[in-house]
Structure 1
């Protein structure tokens, strides 16, 4: 069932983005009386799952879910229809239209992608609002579980107050800024200092295969005391929060782990919080510092606030207030993704190791259905699709835009033969990028 939920979200999001992107080309093409021969969701290599011709356009669904396309008459695109291009230009063809109209048609897809993201962020701001954790409300610092981060100089209990000189306002900003930052300003034991991250910090994290990086310090909550546990008769119950081992205070789960190392092989008195009351229970700690029970430290904001660990801020926005908030979120995500691309194309950072294909996108979606999470991911993917399509690679929208701008500035239109060769080169580059990204997915699936 979990697979069905994940794949349903993945396909729904992908289909929505593809259809709207292609409509971004389709609508201005129709407005400028340019014939659109095909409008396809997914690729119809050899055959289609569905197709129907309405007017001059065949609408269809292909079987290969790697994207979609519109085939515009008189345009050198992935169809490589050289026979049509050998005929005299017709008034309804793309090549017969003024350069400014062709530019609008080519920019239509990415424009829709960016507008869609803005629309989603505005809608989410209005409907859901925001729950944020101000950095000033994190009194005891953060949980830094990564050995790579520890080696770089970041330790559990550190307060991260700025990255590259830019102050951190909310907890949600920290991980991404640190991943792509250079200098991290921390507060440790009341003193400020600067940690300089190695240039290949991200590469080291990826190579380490560590799944956790920077998180909130959370309580040690007992989930289950199995019948096979050597502490099954201790009196410990589901929902208990361990606050101390003998005289060693353990407000957070990481402190419990330290306490287990401190008292391994011993019998201790554990102070636990149960139904808002302190209770003492005897616990045995094994020689390998284990309690023999199941615990969790992934409490919800509501739970953490109720326990007095953190104070979150809930922000609600009126209809008109949601517009600048949504615009800022879209701008921040766009800037963030652009920074990520910059890191990916800088080999020394090793960020290219984290590039993923369709499997990586699929993995982003949760195994439960949440419209809030779905729309948030879809908005980000829309920005990602828009940015990637603007890359100046022939065969992408950005490649066509590059040649159109050259034509508008120089007054000279690139020849059809040149465009055919450029399209072939661009297609080869795209195939290489797709193989690399999806090859990364396969590599990680096998060796991780």
Structure 2
């Protein structure tokens, strides 16, 4: 399911990105020869092109017929684009006539520029064409976020409403945190939002955190090495909500059901030891595997207990309530369409700022180890289909794609943007040969990054980190 979700998400992002280029190209009467979802090295799953007044289709094709080529078409059909689907699901492309990119070099261009070619257009039009993909990806993310708010609304768990506190990674435990602590302030700034607190811990290099521990407020002085340790150890998350052990249902052969427990029971002790968090209870059960144990719980506000023989796997055989709204006091906000639009824009911009800020981890000593490829992207999606999660992750990936594409590396849109801006400022256009060399260097660099990122994913899989 993760693979299917990733492919669908990337397909949406690639198509919208390339449509951004195509839209501006058509606006400025620039010919787009081919538009492809996925790469079509040696072979295409599908091709379509309109000429002679009707659409023509090819399936599982390796060689485009000569009758489809521009030189053999009527004048009114020469601007029509060939639409295709390749077989290598690593992206896609928009083949814009007269533009040096991954599809062609200076040697592939005609000696004389044509008025319908990219290179013949004014610099400001070329800047619009090359920026179109990034612009559409960014707008797509904002539209998706607005749609999410309009359809589902938003559920927010205020930081202090997690009544059992939080689970902390050993990195934070080494700094002086304890399981169950609730963050109150960081460097004197009060914290109310989970994501804000985690971002401040990781990116702001704080010196002091005040937490509620039991009935007291405790000050924790930090070492200043959090970012380095996170970069080296690559934890999935620094902190997570401690959730109660509330029974939702039972699996076949459940020992808990046989003992008389019911859905809605909230476990608060094992063998007389008070504990309410799932992590503590599951650890205690694992340590008591195969033994007779006593389980204390509340049912409808009334305390009760049962004794049972715990199976060898150390589990009660229950499914737990996982919806935050059923466990904590969650703030739900419904939006009208008009309210959802500014909320989506605000959330999208905030998410982009947070993502860009987090990239500083790449510049630490172990930064290269934090690069991730397709395995990392796939791990973002849940194992079961969830439309809310799918669209949320797709919007996030759209922001990542938009930002990554403006990095000024030849081969990315950012490289083309850089050279075009240079031309606009200096009034000197880089030569086609220079652009070809730059494109080749950029593609080599991007290939190296792709190998490193996916190599990291393979290593993470070997280490069981996915």
Matched residues in 2 for 1:264 and 1:445: separation? 29
Report the Cα offset of residue 220 of structure 1: 2.5
From 173, 191, 201, the counterpart of 2:217: 191
Matched residues in 1 for 2:125 and 2:139: separation? 20
From 285, 291, 306, the counterpart of 1:281: 306
Distance 1:180 1:352, change over 3 A: farther
Q: Which residue of 2 aligns with 1:52?
A: 48
Deviations 1:92-143 (A, max 9, x none): 1111111111101111000000000111111111111111111232344222
Matched residues in 1 for 2:284 and 2:386: separation? 38
Report the Cα offset of residue 374 of structure 1: 1.2
Report the Cα offset of residue 177 of structure 1: 4.4
1:283·1:291 contact (CA, 8 Å) conserved in 2? no
1:141·1:217 contact (CA, 8 Å) conserved in 2? yes
2:35·2:95 contact (CA, 8 Å) conserved in 1? yes
Q: Which residue of 2 aligns with 1:34?
A: 30
Distance 1:255 1:89, change over 3 A: closer
Deviations 1:15-68 (A, max 9, x none): 111111011011111111111111111111112111123333211111111111
Deviations 1:179-217 (A, max 9, x none): 4442262314322424425131213432xxx65642222
Q: 3-state SS of the aligned residue for 2:35?
A: strand
Report the Cα offset of residue 251 of structure 1: 2.8
- Is 2:397 aligned against 1:381? yes
Report the Cα offset of residue 176 of structure 1: 4.6
- Out of 311-320 and 158-167, give the one that drifted further: 158-167
Q: Which residue of 1 aligns with 2:410?
A: 394
Q: Which residue of 2 aligns with 1:219?
A: 244
Aligned residues: 430
Q: Which residue of 1 aligns with 2:361?
A: 343
Report the Cα offset of residue 275 of structure 1: 5.0
- Out of 434-443 and 110-119, give the one that drifted further: 434-443
Matched residues in 2 for 1:53 and 1:165: separation? 63
Calculate the aligned-residue CA RMSD, in Å. Answer: 3.1
Q: 3-state SS of the aligned residue for 1:108?
A: helix
Distance 1:393 1:368, change over 3 A: same
Matched residues in 2 for 1:437 and 1:316: separation? 39
Q: How does 1:184-263 map to 2 (within 5 A)?
A: 185-189=209-213, 190-196=216-222, 197-198=224-225, 199-206=227-234, 213-221=238-246, 240-245=265-270, 248-256=273-281
Matched residues in 2 for 1:58 and 1:205: separation? 47
From 433, 447, 459, the counterpart of 1:431: 447
- Is 2:83 aligned against 1:67? no
Q: 3-state SS of the aligned residue for 1:45?
A: coil
Distance 1:133 1:300, change over 3 A: same
Matched residues in 1 for 2:282 and 2:254: separation? 21
Q: How does 1:24-173 map to 2 (within 5 A)?
A: 24-54=20-50, 55=77, 56=79, 57-85=81-109, 87-144=111-168, 146-163=169-186, 167-173=190-196
- Out of 252-261 and 65-74, give the one that drifted further: 252-261
Deviations 1:194-244 (A, max 9, x none): 4425131213432xxx65642222223466698697x99765566643213
Matched residues in 1 for 2:48 and 2:270: separation? 71
From 424, 427, 438, the counterpart of 1:408: 424
2:164·2:243 contact (CA, 8 Å) conserved in 1? no
* Normalised TM-score (structure 1): 0.86
Q: Which residue of 1 aligns with 2:74?
A: none
Matched residues in 1 for 2:90 and 2:285: separation? 50
Deviations 1:319-361 (A, max 9, x none): 22212211111011101111222322x133x343232211221
Distance 1:291 1:59, change over 3 A: closer
Q: 3-state SS of the aligned residue for 1:201?
A: helix
Distance 1:89 1:232, change over 3 A: closer
Report the Cα offset of residue 245 of structure 1: 4.4
Distance 1:228 1:362, change over 3 A: closer
Distance 1:375 1:235, change over 3 A: closer
Q: Which residue of 2 aligns with 1:303?
A: 326
* Normalised TM-score (structure 2): 0.83
2:373·2:453 contact (CA, 8 Å) conserved in 1? yes
Q: 3-state SS of the aligned residue for 2:88?
A: strand
Report the Cα offset of residue 372 of structure 1: 1.3
Matched residues in 1 for 2:9 and 2:285: separation? 45
5+ long unaligned stretches in structure 1? 305-309
- Is 2:5 aligned against 1:9? yes
Report the Cα offset of residue 14 of structure 1: 1.1
1:42·1:68 contact (CA, 8 Å) conserved in 2? yes
Distance 1:283 1:89, change over 3 A: same
